Structures are given as C-alpha cells and as structure tokens.
C-alpha cells in the first residue's frame, strides 16, 4: 500500500506541475506494470518539455517494456541528441542493436559508452561477447541484403 500512496502523491504533484513531475509519475506507473498509463503521462510531460532527458529515458523504457524496439530506439536516440554521453541511452541502444543482430552498431555504441564510462563492466562483457560471435552466426535483419554464399570447393584455387 505504500507504493499506492507514492503514486497518489506523484499524481497530485503531476497535476500541479506536469513539466516537473511527469517523469517520476510515469516511471511509478511503469514500475507498477501500468505501461500504457505511463506512456500517457510521459507524452504529456514531453509535450510541455520536449528536451527533458529523463522524460525521453522513461519513454524509451516504456517502449522496451512493451517490446517496441523501434519506439525505444527513437526515444533513446532523442536522448543522445540532447546528451551524447548519456550512458542509459548508449547501453539501451547497444542492447537493441544486439537483439536485432545489428552487431556493428552495437559495437559502436558500446565502444563509445566505454569511452564515456571506462569502468562499465557490463558493457565490457557485452562488447567482448559480440566481438566473439562468428560472422555467420549473426541473425539477419529483415530487409538487409544477404551475404554472398561461400565459394564452392570446386571454385577454390589451390
């Protein structure tokens, strides 16, 4: 019940100042598995304050919770437009890229993340894991051109 009181408190604060309290109010809903309500709240906040980085981070997390990688990618890209060293956005985008098999992009985000935050062990491990993948094991991205087939043994010159 304490969490319910917290949401009620945030709801009152949001009603008084939606620019300031949209992100914490939306995040409370998101953490309560009320992701659709969280999206409604955060969109109001971002309409009033489109450059509010925590709002775009919450928007991205809501999209991730819904399994909407495209929406999450757009939200976290917006965060990087506002703060190109935001570690939450860099890590989230790397995760999305890895999940979609866009390994070169994931490597780029992780490399930059490690430039910003050298002690991020999770990013180091993820980068090593992606770099260790065989190229042929990489999942294909819908719409991406297929790699050329390997040469047949009879085509090889010795």
Residue 94 backbone class (left: φ over 0; alpha: ψ -120 to 50; beta: rest): alpha
pLDDT score recorded for residue 4: 83
pLDDT score recorded for residue 63: 98
Tell me the CA distances in angstroms from 36 to 1, 29, 92, 105, one per residue in order: 21, 9, 20, 29
pTM: 0.81
pLDDT score recorded for residue 2: 64
Mean pLDDT by 10 residues, the chain (158 residues): 82 95 97 96 97 97 98 98 98 98 97 97 97 68 39 34
Residue 37's H or E segment, with its range, is helix 35-48
């Amino acid at each position: 019940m304490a969490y319910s009181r917290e949401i009620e408190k945030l709801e009152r604060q949001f009603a008084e100042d939606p620019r300031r309290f949209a992100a914490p109010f939306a995040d409370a809903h998101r953490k309560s598995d009320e992701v659709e309500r969280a999206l409604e709240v955060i969109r109001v906040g971002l309409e009033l304050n489109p450059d509010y980085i925590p709002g775009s981070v919450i928007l991205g997390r809501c999209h991730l919770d819904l399994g909407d990688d495209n929406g999450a990618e757009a939200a976290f890209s917006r965060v990087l437009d506002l703060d190109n060293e935001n570690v939450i956005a860099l890590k989230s985008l790397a995760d999305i890229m890895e999940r979609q098999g866009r390994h070169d992009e994931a490597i780029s985000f992780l490399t930059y993340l490690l430039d910003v935050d050298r002690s991020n062990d999770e990013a180091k491990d993820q980068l090593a894991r992606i770099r260790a993948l065989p190229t042929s094991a990489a999942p294909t991205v819908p719409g991406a051109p297929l790699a050329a087939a390997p040469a047949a043994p009879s085509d090889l010159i010795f």
